[in-house]
Chain A
Amino acid sequence: MHGAHSHNYLNHEKGLWSWLTTLDHKRIGVLYMISVFIFFFIGGVFAMLIRWELFSSGQNIVSPAGYNQLMTFHGAIMVFMVIIPGIPAFLGNFFLPLQIGAKDVAFPRLNLLSWYCLMVGAAIAFMSLFFSGADTGWTFYTPYSIQTDTGTIWLVTGAFVMGFSSILTGLNFVVTTHKLRAPGMTFWKMPLFVWSLYSTAILQILATPVLGITLLLLVAERVLGIGIFDPALGGDPVLFQHFFWFYSHPAVYIMILPAMGIISELITTYSRKTIFGYKAIALSTVGIAAVSFFVWGHHMFVSGQSEIAGIIFSFITMLVGVPTAIKTFNWVATLYGGSVRFDAPLLYALGFIFLFTIGGVTGIILATIATNVHFHDTYFVVAHFHYVMVGGTLMAIMGGVYHWFPKMFGRIVDDGMARITFVLIFVGFNVTFFPQFVLGAMGLPRRYADYPVAYEALNKISSIGSWTIGLGFLLALYVIIHALKRGEKAGDNPWGARTLEWQTSSPPPHENFDKPPVVTAGPYEYR
């Protein structure tokens, strides 16, 4: 039907309008890519400003109130606009249908609608800046979020709207995975990235509505004073924390499960070896998703929940370590004896394994009640979640972008440059965040604009590290733009991978495959 390279989804239709009204999952994926990159840039600038303020003790560039705003917007942007849509809605949108041999997702219009939900939600969230901003942190804890007279309500409403984006993506992926697999593609022949997106989708569907109602009640609390979270009216502010974490703990797995899916793809492709323990990886993904609903209380050990509840939450939280470790061991076992190619995507995958392991192990430390009492709300927590969210999810996004770039745009990325970005980001990351473990152990609380001089040295190191990360990401942006403009033409399967997306042309045609694929083998039959 289509000429292999001449006619593809990029030139199928022309003009900005054709992009804004597109129903093609690949183009919607690209829309998400552009928006997530822009949000990441804005959130990154806020991060740099935070680290600049913290470079030395005393007030440097912003007032304490301004600092609270920076911290709140940095967190809210990175969570709701970057890491949550980052993998599913961008890479997942593009590659889930391709990997299962489908022509599109089940509901293309809802798919487009989900992007508009993100855009409108983000616009509402940024409106907050015109109403004296927001200073609650991304967690919107009551009672402060009810009392502060800033534009918090805009940010909350924006997060509510962005929730629909996430729900629609999840809904689409569940139905697509069930109904649109190519002939022969049984569940046990699905790529692990698909498994991870499927598990993530279930979390998005089951957890996000609870965030929705929580944020709605918070808005009602601020507008009408309904009192459900207000002790003066008989309500309970801790209930907000329960509701919030009932969503937001599963949400951290919305952020990390798809990342693990990408890592599985990268490890097996670049060691040209069948993945070790395919079923164990697939099932541990589902296992993590299931357990993640029963651990939210580990954020509330010092919020006044009962000791019994604390012990139960602590125990279940530690259980999450088991399926996580299963995956890690399987990745390492896959590498063992493989013909490993140290291309940039593999470097990012190795970076993921290293950093995520540190993030996960410190998670276990935080899940231990006795140590948590000491570390709670200190920089130790900040370091922990940056190790999992940046060291985990962002590393996977970077690896995934470099891995799939030739397929998405038909061009090769300069691998040498890409490797330099890895070194900058990896080194910068550790220089930034490792000292924060120490700062936290020394008792430095998070979310403060200032600190005593005794903490200055480590904070300086951390700020210097942040510039290195910033440089790394700017270079990464340059590498990508350069590849878009000048990159050499990519073949259909430059990495010799086995999953279906590599069997169609680069970039793929409008309907993904010239001939509908029929699946006879598993996804990773290397050797």
Chain B
Amino acid sequence: MSIAKTTTTAGSGPKPHHHAHHFESAEHEFSAAKLGLWVFLSTEILMFGGLFVGFFIFHGIYPEMFKEGSTFLDWRLGAVNTVVLLLSSFTIATSVYYAQKNNQKAVVLNLAATIALGAVFMMIKYIEYASKIEAGLLPGQLFSYEAAEAANLGLYFSFYFCMTGLHGLHVLIGMGVMAWVLKRAINGEFGPGYYTPIEGIALFWHLVDLIWIYLFPLLYLVE
């Protein structure tokens, strides 16, 4: 966000960070960035909110269909993924903590661990998707599983793929941004005086985690 690099902050980070000309200080810039992030997260919640509302409406109309649909999901894989994401939320939070404590190595390690955990999540997701696609458990029109009991079972899988797909896309984007933050962390750009990008990606990652915490019981544990 820095445009004209005019002033230097008193931050004790390893490399001094320059705040943009229209802020008074690095703290001022940090607080604005953080507010911006929260606002951004609220847009994410509203976007997913639309899908959740749709899910609840159709779940209310076709409880049997949703129940049958969920029996095709492997709750154990879902549970493993929940643990994986929770762990990754912990590592990213730890990374922020070490940035504040100016422990460069721990910042890098924890960021890398978070990316790795994200990759594990996506791998398990891939295994799940592959088995669904093979069985013809696909959205709407593409649904071709023969032995379905409920009519229009494809609708359940429309929600399954839309919700987990959009969520998975967020995991991938989060991993991408984190790779960029990791590179900057390796360059030693962060410290107690400046760690906005880590804080930002951490907040984003927590939200992605939180959404999964709702998706898991809704999709896998339908009663």
- Near B by CB (< 8 A), chain A positions 163-218 give 167, 170-172, 174-175, 178-180, 205-210, 212-214, 216-217
Q: Contacts A102-B22, A106-B32, A239-B54: A209 and B39 contacting too (C-beta < 8 A)?
A: no
CA distance A23 to B2 in the complex (A): 11
Most buried by B among A102, A233, A243: A233
Given A217-B50, A226-B140, A226-B158: 9 more A-B contacts, CB < 8 Å: A104-B22, A108-B20, A172-B36, A175-B32, A178-B32, A209-B44, A213-B47, A227-B152, A230-B140
Which residues of A are found within 8 Å of B1, using beta-carbon distances? 107-109
Residues of A bordering B, CB below 8 Å: 23, 102-104, 106-109, 167, 170-172, 174-175, 178-180, 205-210, 212-214, 216-217, 220-221, 224-228, 230, 233-236, 239, 243, 511
The residue that B35 contacts in the complex, of A108, A179, A235, with Cβ under 8 A, is: A179
Residues in chain A near residue B21, CB distance under 8 A: 103-104, 511
Shortest 8 CB-CB distances between A and B: which pairs? A225-B141, A234-B152, A227-B140, A103-B22, A209-B47, A213-B50, A226-B158, A209-B46
Residue-wise interface mask of B (26-46) relative to A, using a CB-CB cutoff of 8 A (1 in contact, 0 not)? 001001100110011011101
Given contacts A102-B22, A212-B47, contact A234 B155 (CB under 8 A): yes
Q: Determine the chain B residues whose CB is within 8 A of the CB of A179 once the complex forms.
A: 28, 31-32, 35
In the complex the two chains form, what is the Cα distance from A356 to B54 in whole Å? 36
Name the contact of B155 in the complex, choosing from A104, A175, A212, A233 (C-beta under 8 A): A233
Whether A209 contacts B142 by the Cβ 8 Å rule is no
Residues of A within 8 A of B31 (CB): 179
Among A102, A174, A228, A230, find the residue whose CB has the most chain B CB atoms closer than 10 A: A228
| B162: interface (CB < 8 Å) | yes
Q: Which residues of B contact A209 (CB under 8 A)?
A: 43-44, 46-47, 49-50
For the complex formed, measure the closest distance between the CB of B188 and the CB atoms of chain A, giving whole angstroms: 24
User: What is the bound-complex CA distance between A174 and B88, given in angstroms?
Assistant: 31
Task: Write out, one digit per residue, whether chain B residues 1-25 have a CB within 8 A of any chain A CB (1) or not (0).
Answer: 1010000000000000000111100
Chain B positions within 8 Å of A, measured between CB atoms, are 1, 3, 20-23, 28, 31-32, 35-36, 39-40, 42-44, 46-51, 54, 57-58, 62, 65, 139-142, 151-152, 154-155, 158-159, 161-162, 166
27 residue pairs from A and B, CB less than 8 Å apart:
A23-B3, A104-B3, A171-B36, A175-B32, A175-B39, A178-B35, A179-B35, A180-B22, A180-B23, A180-B32, A205-B43, A209-B49, A210-B47, A212-B47, A214-B50, A217-B54, A221-B140, A224-B141, A226-B140, A227-B139, A227-B152, A227-B158, A233-B141, A234-B62, A234-B65, A234-B154, A511-B21
Chain B residues lying within 8 Å of A220, measured Cβ to Cβ, are 139, 158, 162
Residues in A with CB closer than 8 Å to B142 are 224-225
> How far, in angstroms, from A178 to B32 measured CA to CA in the complex?
8
Q: Which residues on A sit within 8 Å (CB–CB) of B43?
A: 167, 171, 205-206, 208-209
- Roughly how many angstroms separate A243 CA and B49 CA in the complex, as a whole number? 11
Q: Which residues of A contact B36 (CB under 8 A)?
A: 106-107, 171-172, 175
Shortest Cβ distance from A220 into B: residue? B162
Nearest chain B residue, comparing its CB with the CB of A24: B3
- Nearest CB on B from A485, distance (A): 32
Q: Within the complex, what minimum Cβ distance (angstroms) separates A304 from chain B? A: 14
Give B93 Cβ to nearest chain A Cβ, in Å. 24
Cβ-closest chain A residue relative to B35: A175
Identify the closest chain B residue to A230 (Cβ): B140
Residues in B neighbouring A170, C-beta threshold 8 A:
39
List chain B residues, Cβ under 8 A from A104: 3, 21-22
Residues of B within 8 A of A236 (CB): 57-58
CA distance A229 to B213 in the complex (A): 27
Complex CA gap A23/B3 in Å reads: 8
Chain A residues closer than 8 Å to B3, beta-carbon distance: 23, 104, 108
Of the residues B42, B57, B65, B151, contact of A205 by C-beta under 8 Å: B42
A156–B130 alpha-carbon span in the complex (Å):
30
Assess A243 versus B22: contact at CB under 8 Å? Given A107-B1, A175-B35: no
Contacts of A212 in B (CB 8 A): 47
Please give me the residue from chain B that is nearest to A228 by CB atom.
B158
Q: Which of B22, B152, B161 contacts A233 (CB 8 A)?
A: B152
Please tell me which one of the listed residues A175, A206, A214, A227 contacts residue B154 in the complex, with CB atoms under 8 A apart.
A227
Contacts of B166 in A (CB 8 A): 216
Which B residue sits closest to A106, measured CB to CB? B32
- Complex Cα distance, B35 from A209, in Å, reads 18
B7 to chain A: closest CB distance in Å?
Answer: 13
Q: Are B50 and A235 in contact (CB under 8 A)?
A: no
Whole-angstrom distance between the alpha carbons of A233 and B35 in the complex?
42
Question: Are B46 and A174 neighbours in the complex by a CB distance under 8 Å?
Answer: no
Please indicate the chain B residues that have their CB under 8 angstroms from the CB of A109 in the complex. 1
